[in-house]
A and B are shown apart, each in its own frame.
Chain A
C-alpha cells in the first residue's frame, strides 16, 4: 500500500464525556486509507460509522488515539481544521436539509466562496460541480432551492461539497431514502467522482451500494472494526456478517441461499450480472 492519506490509530470517542449522559461511540478503531481507495463503512446503527467520518475532517478531534489526514496530525492544537476541511469534504446524512440559499447556484458556490474564490473561476467551479452530480448548470443554477424535488435537493447538497474539489470525500448514507431512479443516478455520480481519483469513504446501510461501488469494506460493531478487507472477500464470510446483524447484497444472498440448498455454485458474487452468470454455470447452461 502507498503511504496512507488517512491513518487512524486506536481512536476512541465518548459523546457527552463527563456528564451523566456519556455514551461510548468508538472503542479503539484503527484504519488506514490509501489515496484513490473507495472504502465502505458498514455496521449497525450506533456502531460508530458517522463518528469516524466526522473525525476524518476534523469535526471531532481525537479524545484518545490519533488521526492523521493528508500528513496533518488532527490531535495537534495548531492544526488548521478549516483548511483541512476544504480538502476533506464531508457530506452528512440528509444533505438536502442543509441547503440554505434561495438559489441552487448560490448554495453550490458557498464552499468555494468561503475559500475566497470569485468571478469567472467561481462560476466555472460551480458549473463543474453541478456537472459532476448530474445537474445541468443552465437549467438549475437560478432555480429556487425550495422548488426542487428530494432527489434534486440531495444532489445540490452533494454538489456543494464536491465544489470544494476535495481530495477525500466522506459520505454518510448518501443514498438513504431516495427513490430508485434518484438512487441509481446518485450511484452513477459517485462512480464518476471515483474515476477522477477522489478517495472516498462511505458509511452506508445499503449492501448493494457497497457491492456496486466499494473495493474495500470495513465492518464496525460497537465502536470497533470487526472485519476489514476486499468487498468480495468480506461478503463471502456470510455467517460472520449475519451474526453482526447485517445483510448481504441481494445477489450474494441469493447464491448463498442456493448453495445452502445443496446446489454447487460459486459464492463470491456481488452483482446481479455475476449472480446470473454463476447460476447459468451451475445449471450447466454456460461453462
Chain B
C-alpha cells in the first residue's frame, strides 16, 4: 500500500463547506433533489437523459463552488466496479433484438446492443457516483438529520419514529470518518510490524486473511466508542420524541422552491424522454 491516506481518494461522504447557494439550501430540499435525480438515473434508459443529469450536476457543482476535478476524483475508486459491470453486461446480457451478431460461441453472444447497454450502464454508474458525491459535498451530516427528520415527519402521525431514525442515521454517518482514520492508523501499525498489504500477488482469501488483524481491533474500537457515546448521551439526559426542539432551525425559502422545481423539471423531462435524436445517432452508428 503506497498511499496510507485513506480519505485521499474518497470524496463520497466528504463535506466541503463553501457557503454557496447550494450549501445554504434546506437539507430536505437537497435530499429530495438528490433522491429524485438518483431515481431518474436508475429508471432512465437513454444516453441523452444521463448526459442531461451529468450537465445538471456540473452546473450544480459550479454553483456550489466545488472544484469539479475534486468531485470527479471519487470516480477513480469505483472504476474497477464499473469496468466489471460493463464487461459482464457485454458478455452475458442477452438482447432480445434480432440485429447484427458480432460473435457467437458457448453461451456468449455479442451484439452491438450489448455494447450500447454496457456503455449506458457504465455512464449511469459514473453519473450516479457524481450525483451522490455532489450531494455529500454540499450537505453536512448534521443537516442530514434535520433533512431526514423533516422528510419523515408526515409519517410520525402513524407512529413512525422519525426522530429516532434520523438520530441513528447521523450517528452511523458520524462513525464513518472516525473508522476510516482508525483503519488508517491500524494499517500503519501493522505495516510497521512487517505486515505486507498492498502487493497484488496474493489471492482473495490470503488478502482477506491479512485483513483480519485490521477488522478485529476496528470492531472492538467501534463497539467501545458506541458504548461511550451511549453513556455520554445518557449523562446529558438525552431523550428523543416529538417534544424535543432543535438548536438549529432551517427555513425553506424561494431558492428551495426554485431548486426543487428545477430538479423536478429535469427529472420529468428525463422520464418522458424515451428516445432522442442523440440515441438514434448512436444506435445507427453501432449497427
How many residue pairs bridge A and B at CB < 8 Å? 75
Say whether B213 faces chain A, with CB atoms less than 8 Å apart: yes
Number of chain A residues whose Cβ lies closer than 8 Å to a Cβ of chain B = 33
B188 contacts A92, C-beta separation under 8 Å = yes
Contacts of A98 in B (CB 8 A): 185-186, 189-190, 217
Q: Whole-angstrom distance from the CB of A95 to the nearest CB of chain B?
A: 7
Given contacts A20-B67, A54-B188, contact A111 B217 (CB under 8 A): no
Chain A residue with Cβ nearest B2: A61
Q: Whole-angstrom distance from the CB of A168 to the nearest CB of chain B?
A: 12
A60 contacts B213, C-beta separation under 8 Å = no
Interface stretch (choices B111-119, B165-173, B193-201, B265-273): B193-201
A114 contacts B73, C-beta separation under 8 Å = no
B8 contacts A111, C-beta separation under 8 Å = no
Given contacts A16-B8, A98-B217, A100-B217, contact A115 B189 (CB under 8 A): no
Chain B residue with Cβ nearest A113: B194
Q: Whole-angstrom distance from the CB of B216 to the nearest CB of chain A?
A: 5
Interface stretch (choices A83-91, A193-201, A228-236): A83-91
Greatest chain B CB density within 10 A among A17, A90, A93, A97 is at: A97
Indicate with 1 or 0, residue by residue over A126-170, a CB within 8 angstroms of chain B CB atoms: 000000000000000000001000000000000011001000000
A57 contacts B193, C-beta separation under 8 Å = no
Q: Whole-angstrom distance from the CB of B22 to the nearest CB of chain A?
A: 15
Say whether A110 faces chain B, with CB atoms less than 8 Å apart: yes
Q: Whole-angstrom distance from the CB of A45 to the nearest CB of chain B?
A: 16
Say whether A259 faces chain B, with CB atoms less than 8 Å apart: no
Indicate with 1 or 0, residue by residue over A79-109, a CB within 8 angstroms of chain B CB atoms: 0001001100111110101111100000000
Say whether B231 faces chain A, with CB atoms less than 8 Å apart: no
Say whether A246 faces chain B, with CB atoms less than 8 Å apart: no
A residues 252-271 in Cβ contact with B at 8 Å: none
Given contacts A20-B16, A20-B67, A100-B216, contact A164 B189 (CB under 8 A): no
Say whether B7 faces chain A, with CB atoms less than 8 Å apart: yes
The residue from B8, B14, B191, B213 contacting A59, defined by CB atoms under 8 A apart? B191
Indicate with 1 or 0, residue by residue over B181-215, a CB within 8 angstroms of chain A CB atoms: 00001101111111110000000000000001110
A19 contacts B73, C-beta separation under 8 Å = yes
B217 contacts A97, C-beta separation under 8 Å = yes
Given contacts A16-B8, A20-B16, A59-B4, contact A161 B70 (CB under 8 A): no
A92 contacts B185, C-beta separation under 8 Å = yes
The residue from B5, B70, B192, B214 contacting A92, defined by CB atoms under 8 A apart? B192
The residue from B11, B70, B188, B194 contacting A111, defined by CB atoms under 8 A apart? B194
Contacts of B195 in A (CB 8 A): 110, 114
Contacts of B11 in A (CB 8 A): 19
A99 contacts B8, C-beta separation under 8 Å = no
Q: Whole-angstrom distance from the CB of B189 to the nearest CB of chain A?
A: 4
- Bound-complex Cα distance A91 to B195 (A): 14
Say whether B221 faces chain A, with CB atoms less than 8 Å apart: yes
Contacts of B73 in A (CB 8 A): 19
Q: Whole-angstrom distance from the CB of B211 to the nearest CB of chain A?
A: 11
A164 contacts B194, C-beta separation under 8 Å = yes
Q: Whole-angstrom distance from the CB of B183 to the nearest CB of chain A?
A: 11
B residues 245-266 in Cβ contact with A at 8 Å: none
B residues 1-55 in Cβ contact with A at 8 Å: 2, 4-5, 7-8, 11, 14, 16
Given contacts A19-B73, A20-B16, A82-B194, contact A59 B217 (CB under 8 A): no
Q: Whole-angstrom distance from the CB of B16 to the nearest CB of chain A?
A: 6
- Bound-complex Cα distance A16 to B189 (A): 20
Contacts of A89 in B (CB 8 A): 192-193
Which chain B residues have a beta carbon within 8 Å of chain A's beta carbons?
Answer: 2, 4-5, 7-8, 11, 14, 16, 67, 70, 73, 185-186, 188-196, 212-214, 216-217, 220-221
10 contacts between A and B (CB under 8 A): A20-B16, A57-B192, A61-B2, A82-B194, A85-B192, A90-B188, A91-B192, A92-B192, A114-B193, A161-B193
**Further contacts, 16 of them, CB under 8 A, given A85-B191, A98-B185:** A16-B5, A19-B70, A19-B73, A21-B7, A21-B14, A59-B4, A59-B188, A82-B194, A91-B192, A92-B192, A98-B190, A99-B217, A110-B213, A114-B193, A146-B220, A164-B193
Which chain A residues have a beta carbon within 8 Å of chain B's beta carbons?
Answer: 15-17, 19-21, 54, 57, 59-61, 82, 85-86, 89-93, 95, 97-101, 110-111, 114-115, 146, 160-161, 164
Q: Which 7 A-B pairs have the closest CB atoms?
A: A90-B192, A111-B193, A98-B189, A114-B194, A100-B213, A100-B216, A100-B217
